[in-house]
Amino acid sequence: MFNCQLCQEETCYVYKYCDNCQNVKRIMNCYGSKEVLAILNRVCLRNGEQQDFKIKRELGREKMKKKILDTIKEEEGKEVSPKPPF
């Protein structure tokens, strides 16, 4: 009984890698460890500029949600006038 040598979270009985890490290892064998590392760095890690953009975008979304909720509340407060039959 061993811990997975890559993630060190899963318990392994036969192999030195758990199922998830075996899949990662296969991908690394296909594409190369440098390519996989480059992809992980490009996709999973953010630099300062990307972090600022994400923060601004999320704040913009919050403002948009607030505007929508305010508009809905205003419309609920107004009386609905009957529409003409034609």
Query: Band of the pLDDT at 71, cuts 50, 70, 90?
Result: confident
Q: Which of 13-27, 29-43, 47-61, 70-84 has the lowest mean pLDDT?
A: 70-84
Give 20-51 pLDDT, tens digit per residue.
999 999 999 999 999 999 988 888 888 888 88
How much is the pTM? 0.51
Range 76-86 burial, b when 16+ CB lie within 10 A, else e:
eeeeeeeeeee
pLDDT at 31: 93
For 73, half-sphere exposure in the C-beta direction (CA atoms, 13 angstrom radius) is: 6
Which residue matches tokens 């979270």? Answer: 9
Task: Find out whether 3 and 12 touch, Cβ atoms under 8 Å.
Answer: yes
Kindly list the domain boundaries of the chain, sorted by start residue: 1-45, 49-76
How far apart CA 9 and CA 46 sit, in angstroms, is 25
